[in-house]
A = this chain, B = another copy of it.
């Protein structure tokens, strides 16, 4: 196996779901994979050993947040992101493009790059594709993302087309600026819900022969069905011999829909963010742990879950939220990430056994049933 090698282990017999691996400088990642989000060098409230115990194989860090605080040069000085935060397995950094879209104030996008004011202290900062790559190389994750231009949906075709072609030009500049041989650079397919633009973007990026490709600019305002249809339309134009990463997505059902369509990688803040807000993901759908129905419930969130939250009662987890104890958000974050990891681990096994469609149907059926009394 060589660095950044994608290996297809098994193609599901009935769906486009595929079981593969991706080799990085910090180890092999089993695909499909879910990446928890460690925005500022920490998955909120979760210690490294706890994160490992969830079954997580690769963690995402946000370039935009880390460039603001503590700053990429400080992270580099301290040995890079792995050394800085203590996670010694694979990591990925995004390009900053999405956070510019969602967080930064008074953005101005030109061909050169973006100029924005920090959402923390308002200072003016320029970020070009070259800057993004330089910063991501300083951070030193195993996978860096090309700098892209993200826009909201719905939008005009002209705006989508403009952002897509800029994303292509910025991808070439990102590739030209990229020097680290121990770091894979992934391209990002943009193009909104315009399938022909998505196809054009995917094909031109494929010509760059990057070690992996992402679908960006989804889950930004469109319906789930529009997103699934778009994944269908774009995946077929993405190289089959490279990992495919659906950025910023999503709910458990979105993961299964993506995997079914041939997506290999996912990241989302949902398990951690919802966990902090007292929502637990389970095979019976979401549980809201502040609910009075759990006040005396001696059962764990899920009988078959190995996480530390599930070594306690629902009543205890509820008590932690009602009294504002930090351990509540911590335990549900761990539970939810564990849930996502068990979900994708189950998907990997199902694909290996050519029964992904069955696995998918079982999960959806159980989710629809809801939490039994």
Contacts and interface: CB of A to CB of B under 8 A. Distances in A.
Interface of A: 40-42, 44-50, 65, 69-70, 74, 77-79, 84-86, 295-296, 298, 308, 311-313, 315-316, 319-320, 322-323, 325-327, 329-331
B315 A85 contact: no
Number of copies of this chain that the complex holds: 2
Given A74-B295, A296-B78, A85 B312 contact: yes
Contact of A319 (B40, B48, B312): B40
29 contacts: A40-B323, A41-B316, A41-B319, A41-B325, A42-B325, A42-B327, A44-B325, A44-B326, A44-B327, A45-B327, A46-B327, A47-B47, A47-B330, A47-B331, A48-B308, A49-B308, A70-B315, A70-B319, A74-B295, A74-B296, A74-B315, A77-B296, A78-B313, A84-B315, A84-B316, A84-B319, A86-B308, A86-B311, A326-B329
Contacts of A78: 296, 298, 313, 315-316
Contacts of A295: 70, 74
Given A65-B323, A69-B322, A70-B295, 17 more contacts: A40-B319, A41-B316, A41-B319, A42-B327, A44-B326, A45-B330, A47-B47, A47-B327, A47-B331, A48-B311, A69-B323, A77-B298, A78-B298, A84-B316, A85-B312, A86-B308, A86-B312
A323 to B, nearest CB: 5
A313 B74 contact: no
B85 A325 contact: no
A331 B85 CA distance: 12
A117 to B, nearest CB: 18
A265 B327 CA distance: 26
A77 B313 CA distance: 12
A78 B69 CA distance: 44
A326 B323 contact: no
A211 to B, nearest CB: 29
Contacts of A312: 84-86
Residue of A40, A42, A69, A313 ringed by the most chain B CB atoms within 10 A: A42
Nearest to A331: B47
A302 B260 CA distance: 49
Contacts of A315: 70, 74, 78, 84
Contacts of A313: 78, 84
A322 B295 CA distance: 36
Contacts of A86: 308, 311-312, 316
A172 to B, nearest CB: 34
A295 B145 CA distance: 27
A262 to B, nearest CB: 35
Contact of A79 (B41, B77, B298): B298
Contacts of A46: 327
A319 B69 contact: yes
A312 B329 CA distance: 23
The 3 A-B pairs of least Cβ separation, nearest first, read: A45-B326, A42-B327, A70-B319
Contacts of A319: 40-41, 69-70, 84
A44 B324 CA distance: 10
Contacts of A329: 326
Nearest to A308: B47
A327 B69 CA distance: 15
